[in-house]
Chain A
Amino acid sequence: MKREGPKSIAVLTGICLVVAVLLAAVNYVTAPIIAKSAQSGAEASLYVVLPNAAGFEEEALTGEIPEAVTGVYRDTGGSGYAVTLSTISSYSASPMTFTLGVSTDGKITGVEMTNYAESKDFGDYPSSYVGQDSTLSGVDLYAGVTYSSQAFKAAVEDAFSVLVELGGVAQGNKTDEQIIEELQPQLLPGALNRAGAPQLKEMTVSDASVRQALQAENDVGYIYVMEESDEIYVIAVSTTGGAVCVDLEGTDVTAQHTDLVQRAMELGDTDAIHEKNKTAAARALPEGAELTPISAKDQFGTVSSIYAVSGAENAAYAMVCTPYGYREPMKLVFVLNSGGEITGFRASGELIQNSEYYSNYTLDQSAYIAGLIGLTKNTASEDITLISGATMTGDGVWAALQDVFLAFDGLTAE
């Protein structure tokens, strides 16, 4: 029995060693074949998107490469490029990978999905990109698969940015409508929903120079497309008194067009919005407090109304914010003292709208509010506003809180 121990060890070790040597030998033979077949598998998608390609050569990319672009391959026959892309939408942990073919005239020749792990089918969405140029003017997001289609579109834009940078493909010319659409999120970020899409509705105004008038659905401001001396300008007006005017190049020309900006500021019915918000703000303050609407320049965030408060202890300002939560905009009232410290908070209705979540999520709202009281610009953090299980609502509160402190800085600086 005593002799069996060393023998057992020796035999088992010997078997392990022999097996390891055998495996190494087989691996030596098969590894190159496996690698070659994996490469040809990846290459197959290149020929799908550029069927007439003579062969492919990988381009060496330098400088800052967008994360989504995993490889750029040039057709040695000169017909165009194939770009391999990998992107993660916020709805899935598995990356969506696809190959994009772009001809030298800058048109998409084909899209081949190589991995798609979303629960909802993408349908023919990728093929709607075929024929598009770098402006992607003919494609929209795919309803129901918004996050994936957004990630997909962003990845295609990244591919074009790399190809244009390489000088390999012609750049498409954006239409005025596209440029205006791209300017909207930059000019009025407070009107964006949590997916980053501006939520605006058309409105009619009497000014003849206005080509398009849009009102933010969460009442944070307006966007006007106005014409003056045959030039188009985009003007964003916030309900808290901010206004900015840019031309179609995106250059700020507010100072040069003060009359136009002034006219734009008078178009929207901001008084009605402040009157409506006043009721919500008053509920966050003791009875008898008086509220007077005031302005804060350069505030284009989620703050819809700002009031100077009198007749209430430890309350100098009340700000009504309407950030987007899971879907609909919330209405949050922040009360600040003269030192910029949060002294009161109130949400109209329930902060968490149960119907918008899969589970019956409940929040200890009073404890959550207690956590917000006493916060200042320096002590506020995303961890405090985070609502585990209802992240988008928490994100909305955090966005509003940041805008409140920004607006407060604008007030005190005046």
Chain B
Amino acid sequence: MWKNFLKGILRENPVLVLVLGTCPTLAVTTSVSNAFGMGIAATAVLLGSNVVISAMRRVIPDKVRIPSYIVIIAGFVTIAEMVMHAFVPDLYEALGVFLSLIVVNCIILGRAEMYASKNRVLDSAIDALGMGVGFTLALFAMASIREIFGAGSWMGFEIPVLSDFSIPILVNSPGGFFVFGLLIAIVNAVTKRKTGRDFGCAGCPSAAVCGANDGSLKKAAEKDHGAGAGKGPDDTAEEGGK
């Protein structure tokens, strides 16, 4: 269970390893408070949608699973939007359109399709929390670097000396890409991943879920076209439990 939670933080970090949700990552990491707000909102949506989708995994027919997931995710996003608009209007204004765009954040749909639809509710909730925390931490780290060195402040508080020698390009788009690349490189080095090792399915950090290593991916595809809903390849298996 703990392993399930931790994987989203570093080994399968959705932003820095799976490179998902890049658009909001680059857009909102100009300030730490915005990044934190976006992370919390995305985590809440991820948790809600993962739990509901996992609970309904045997009910939702395979044919309509993607529209069903999207409706559930969009529902949670709209709820998050309304709650933020009511209780944290400043953050709501600051996040702007990116809040609504959580609906199309690949991390949410990715976890729904890849994990929640195949695993138990508790595991899906833990997976969502891990991924959400990983997403928030990645945003937080990236925003900290950009705000501290780009604007000379942190969480809106001015940092002496640095505020006089800031590097404004870091809070602009090119700086966003630069810091993003830098963090990906650091995470790669820390997790000792070697470039060129394997770019196929087997090299994917989520291969265990998909079952790429033992050929169950193929079986799953066959079942998708054949048997249909509720009878996934790994219905009860815990992620990484092989």
Contacts and interface: CB of A to CB of B under 8 A. Distances in A.
Interface of A: 4, 7-8, 11-12, 15-16, 19, 22-23, 26-27, 29-30, 33-34, 37, 41
A33 B86 contact: yes
> Which of A8, A16, A34 has the most chain B CB atoms inside 10 A of its CB?
A8
B61 A8 contact: yes
B89 A11 contact: no
Contacts of B64: 8, 11-12
Contacts of B68: 11-12, 15
Contacts of A26: 78-79, 82-83
Interface in B73-88: 74-75, 78-79, 82-83, 85-87
Contacts of B228: 4
Nearest to B87: A33
Nearest to B63: A8
Contacts of B44: none
Interface residues of B, number: 22
Interface string B42-67: 00000000000000100111011001
A19 B82 contact: no
Given A15-B60, A23-B79, 17 more contacts: A4-B61, A4-B63, A8-B61, A8-B63, A11-B60, A11-B64, A12-B64, A12-B71, A15-B71, A19-B72, A19-B74, A23-B75, A26-B83, A30-B82, A30-B85, A34-B85, A34-B86
A190 to B, nearest CB: 49
Contacts of B60: 11, 15
B85 A12 contact: no
Nearest to A23: B78
A22 B79 contact: yes
Nearest to A38: B89
A401 to B, nearest CB: 48
A19 B75 contact: yes
> Which of A7, A11, A29 has the most chain B CB atoms inside 10 A of its CB?
A11
A75 B64 CA distance: 59
Contact of B61 (A11, A33, A34, A37): A11
A34 B64 CA distance: 35
A34 B81 CA distance: 11
B86 A37 contact: yes
Contacts of A37: 86, 89
Interface of B: 56, 59-61, 63-64, 67-68, 71-72, 74-75, 78-79, 82-83, 85-87, 89, 228-229
Contact of B71 (A16, A29, A34): A16
Contacts, number: 52
A41 B90 CA distance: 11
A12 B67 contact: yes
Nearest to B78: A23
Contacts of B74: 19
B61 A7 contact: yes
B42 to A, nearest CB: 18
15 contacts: A8-B61, A12-B64, A15-B56, A15-B60, A15-B71, A22-B75, A23-B78, A23-B79, A26-B78, A27-B82, A30-B83, A30-B86, A34-B85, A34-B86, A34-B89
A22 to B, nearest CB: 6
A23 B74 CA distance: 10
A22 B52 CA distance: 13
A400 to B, nearest CB: 48
A34 B79 CA distance: 13
Contacts of B67: 12
Contacts of B61: 4, 7-8, 11
Closest 4 CB pairs of A and B: A19-B75, A30-B86, A33-B86, A8-B64
A30 B67 CA distance: 27
A34 B60 CA distance: 35
Contacts of A30: 82-83, 85-86
Contacts of A22: 75, 79
Contacts of B87: 33
A30 B78 CA distance: 12
Contacts of A34: 82, 85-86, 89
A373 B60 CA distance: 74
> Which of A15, A16, A30 has the most chain B CB atoms inside 10 A of its CB?
A15
A11 B59 contact: yes
Contacts of B71: 12, 15-16, 19
Nearest to A1: B228
Contacts of A33: 86-87
A33 B83 CA distance: 10
Nearest to B75: A19
A313 B63 CA distance: 84
A138 B136 CA distance: 54
A29 to B, nearest CB: 8
A221 to B, nearest CB: 54
Contacts of A16: 71
B144 to A, nearest CB: 29
Contacts of B56: 15
